[in-house]
Structure 1
Amino acid sequence: HDLELSESGFDDADSPDGTVEVRVPLMQGRVDVKLERVELGLAKARLVIREAIRNKDKRPPLTDRDYVPVGPVYRNAYAFHRSYLEMEKLFKVYVYEEGEPPVFHDGPCRSIYSSEGRFIFAMEMENRMRTRDPELAHVFFLPFSVVKMVKMIYEPNSHDMEPLRRTLSDYIDVLSTKYPYWNRSLGADHFMLSCHDWGPYVSSADGHLFSNSIRVLCNANTSEGFNPSKDVSLPEINLRTDIVDNQVGGPSASRRPILAFFAGGDHGPVRPLLLRHWKGKDADVQVSEYLPRGVSYINVMRRSKFCLCPSGYEVASPRVVEAIYLECVPVVIGDDYVLPFSDVLNWPAFSVRVAVADIPNLKTILAAVSPRQYIRMQRRVRTVRRHFMVNGPPRRFDVFHMILHSIWLRRLNVRLHGQD
């Protein structure tokens, strides 16, 4: 099966119904009643969401005790809210219990790869949307950590990633032998999650995992096979401590004297160009490789209107979420990066996208944003921040639930049908 899925997104009256039918072999000619029940629930949810998409701007916002999505930060706030409520009501995730820590059921929670470990931990602790009965599941989670694989299995400097791929291939063999669920859909209702640069490569250990499954990846690079209609862009969040509140909040636009700021290593294809054009050349566009001793990186971001987020070795950058946390409008520099939650969030409303070829024109592009427009964008950054917050335990509409919602949307794009 090569699955061709339509892009999920809340723009068109037809979305998200560009579904693909996956024919499931019937066991001994019998109808799989439980699978049909699961699919019937999803079909009803599709109808509700499609109706919400069609009624954009025609109905008052839905009521909600915690938060009501409204405004231009969303592609369709009403449809997103309806979809989110349908997810909470229906969605069930089965976490395979096979596999031993630390490679399975574990991951880093304080590092540049913290998105990987935090999600695995939160999913293991989840009660509402996790089911212990695989017959009730809409999706199946493969709870391995590529970061831990690299640490435990990879031989440093060997450039041999085959042991990682073999570990994952063997794991899928175990699951597909013990359970019927992988084989019946060829992985289309399964998902993996990885924030390591090598996540996409490791996923190629199994052709169905790469082509059919939902791959939740920080390295969301369309030039390397990332498919936005099937795969999920995972925010890269560099957590140094468990207390996220210290990294949150910033002053108003009038107290941000620096136009644009970046400090970081000179690596990857994009950053050398940025440093060559702007390093130490303009007081308004403060670009450097290293900050002077005693200068706080976070404090400089808080004094900047725009925070530059160029790709490094891979397309994702933790600076995007750092900027959002500190109420600095992110400037995403890169050509092949699918931004997180872009099926729901209207990124142009609260960020700037600059092509690599336009790096020499950075100041001109950013200076063209009027003070009034900037104030609006910064206010929207503050609004959208709740969707990137890491909470322990998770709270509604935070980053954990937004990741699950992205997976939910992609599961809606697949229909499993029995066949004789």
Structure 2
Amino acid sequence: MPLKNTGTTLHSSTLKALCSIPSLFLSIALVTILLSSLFFLRSTPRLHSSSYSAASSSSSSSSRSPFSDRIKVYVAQLPRSLNYGLLESYWSSPHADSRISTDPDHQSGPTHLRKFPAGSRHPPYPENPLIKQYSAEYWILGDLETPPELRGGSLAERVGSWEEADVVFVPFFATLSTEMQLGWDKGKFRKKEGNEDYERQREVVDLVKSSEAWRRSGGRDHVFVLTDPVAMWHVRDEIAPAILLVVDFGGWYRLDSKSSNGSSSDLVHHTQVSLLKDVIVPYTHLLPRLHLPESQKRQTLLYFKGAKHRHRGGVVREKLWDLLVELPGVIMEEGFPNATGREQSIKGMRSSEFCLHPAGDTPTSCRLFDAIESLCIPVIVSDDIELPFEGILDYSDFSVFVATADALRPNWLTNHLRSFSEEQKDRFRRNMAKVQSNFEYNSGHPGGIGPIPPDGAVNYIWKKVHQKLPMIKEAIVRERRKPHGVSVPLRCHCT
């Protein structure tokens, strides 16, 4: 009974408190909040289930790969003769490349052509090092040609119409076209008459610019691969609004011939390229990959193999050569990437702590990526260089950057390199090993058709193109709203 009375007394007092006006309002408010919360929790999955699923899928995808969004790509309709048909012409031609015909490791005539299965729709890309180093176009199109069910690892989603695409990829093997002309009839390269490369350039531009997709955007969402510094040389001004995939901007510079009687070394920057809209892509490396556990002790301090005499920015290379060639611990070899030269480069890079990377005719070369594949720490002496995938990769983690003025001081460069500790050099090589795959194009499939590695060069190119989309879309909108007869500038000029 006492327990019962106690319970009754407590219940009675609670009722009295709840019946007070402030407590009553408080109770009603609490009940309202509770009911609202229950309604929200119950209704959210029904109203936003698709968004929730997409977010979950995106999160899950992000944990599996470095990319969280895909880019929708439409492949422009071009005749086969402008891409894979060009490869068939290359393989069936009796002409040897005139630039390497005196090379003892190169057999002249049709015997230098590697055989591939008859009727193959996707021929292999040439092994000729002068051409292979520019093969990005082949691997990018190979990714897009891969059946959709096998392309889960690619950032690019191929779509069937230009209306639903983020970008329009133009499948012209511009570099192969250029290299075939340079190799077989270089004298006509700068001319239009009798220049087969120019005829192909003209055909591509006329077809693309007559399309509804080009007229919609003024070409700003079109993607051209121009890895050779002189690819599409005759029509660059016409495709300037597009997204250009280039190895650097060196091919767009020229000497100012109007000053100092043509002897000026001042560079005039063309307004056709810009980091705002264009993408710097890697050369294709020519040397095989060295894995970190395979790396041996390195006896040489600094290694370089290449041509001593170059044009434009390459004058620095010649000065560096004269400064370094006689120094202990330094190997400077003049050579060509033929079979013998390739083996020398493999041995030289794998046995050296540092690999010199001075500017040549343009600010960069495939030598940088050969060094990375060989785990030879790049020493970059090129004040105007632009590098692939910056913003995603930090080159200072695995490369040494040296100002040209410092490098040209006697003994400065070798003393600087010797100041690095073994621990620092090991860290550079470990960081290099982590990014080697980012500079590799080969998908490992015949004809380049097959799933690409998620961390390979092609996917990283798509990632960089994806980063350009907001600016491209803004430029297209600005173009659409301009009054008739008024030109809205691209505003993507070099600075």
TM-score (norm. length: structure 1): 0.70
| CA–CA distance in structure 2, aligned partners of residues 106 and 293 of structure 1 | 28
Equivalent position of 2:69 in the other structure: 86
- CA gap 1:237/1:152 in 2 versus in 1, 3 angstroms: closer
8 Å contact from structure 2 (residues 292, 430) kept in 1: no
| CA–CA distance in structure 1, aligned partners of residues 356 and 202 of structure 2 | 39
| CA–CA distance in structure 1, aligned partners of residues 180 and 453 of structure 2 | 32
Equivalent position of 1:320 in the other structure: 368
Residue 250 of structure 2 is aligned to residue 204 of structure 1: no
1:213-292 equivalences in 2 (<5 Å): 213-221=242-250, 223=253, 224-225=269-270, 226-239=273-286, 246-250=288-292, 255-268=297-310, 269=314, 270-279=316-325, 281-290=326-335
1:79-158 equivalences in 2 (<5 Å): 81=66, 84-87=67-70, 91-103=71-83, 108-110=125-127, 111-125=132-146, 127=148, 128=151, 129-151=157-179, 155-158=185-188
8 Å contact from structure 1 (residues 253, 305) kept in 2: no
- CA gap 1:95/1:310 in 2 versus in 1, 3 angstroms: same
Q: Deviations over 1:358-397 (max 9, x none)?
A: 3333213322323222221111101111211232331102
Q: Deviations over 1:75-133 (max 9, x none)?
A: xxxxxx4xx2113xxx1111112233255775645322222323233333363421222
- CA gap 1:61/1:386 in 2 versus in 1, 3 angstroms: farther
Q: Deviations over 1:21-76 (max 9, x none)?
A: xxxxxxxxxxxxxxxxxxxxxxx9xxx9xxxxxxxxxxx999623x5xxxxxxxxx
In structure 1, list runs of 5 or more residues that go unmatched.
1-43, 49-59, 68-80, 241-245
Equivalent position of 1:160 in the other structure: 190
Structure 2 SS opposite 1:320: helix
8 Å contact from structure 1 (residues 93, 139) kept in 2: yes
8 Å contact from structure 1 (residues 331, 352) kept in 2: yes
**Structure of larger gyration radius:** 2
2:465 to 390, 407, 414: 407
8 Å contact from structure 2 (residues 358, 380) kept in 1: yes
Structure 1 SS opposite 2:357: strand
Structure 2 SS opposite 1:307: strand
Equivalent position of 1:7 in the other structure: none
Residue identity matched to 1:64: S
Equivalent position of 2:438 in the other structure: 387
| CA–CA distance in structure 1, aligned partners of residues 343 and 177 of structure 2 | 36
Structure 2 SS opposite 1:366: helix
Residue 379 of structure 2 is aligned to residue 331 of structure 1: yes
8 Å contact from structure 2 (residues 62, 68) kept in 1: no
- CA gap 1:166/1:254 in 2 versus in 1, 3 angstroms: closer
Farther-moved stretch of structure 1 (308-317 vs 345-354): 308-317
Equivalent position of 2:426 in the other structure: 375
C-alpha displacement of 1:273? 2.1
Residue identity matched to 1:199: A
| CA–CA distance in structure 1, aligned partners of residues 147 and 382 of structure 2 | 35
Residue identity matched to 2:429: Q
| CA–CA distance in structure 2, aligned partners of residues 290 and 151 of structure 1 | 20
8 Å contact from structure 1 (residues 216, 234) kept in 2: yes
8 Å contact from structure 2 (residues 296, 351) kept in 1: no
Residue identity matched to 2:300: I
8 Å contact from structure 2 (residues 298, 351) kept in 1: yes
Residue identity matched to 1:249: H
Note the aligned Cα RMSD (angstroms).
Answer: 3.2
- CA gap 1:230/1:135 in 2 versus in 1, 3 angstroms: same
What is the count of residue pairs matched by the alignment?
334
8 Å contact from structure 1 (residues 275, 289) kept in 2: no
| CA–CA distance in structure 1, aligned partners of residues 388 and 327 of structure 2 | 31
Identity of aligned residues (%): 24
8 Å contact from structure 1 (residues 330, 351) kept in 2: yes
C-alpha displacement of 1:216? 0.3
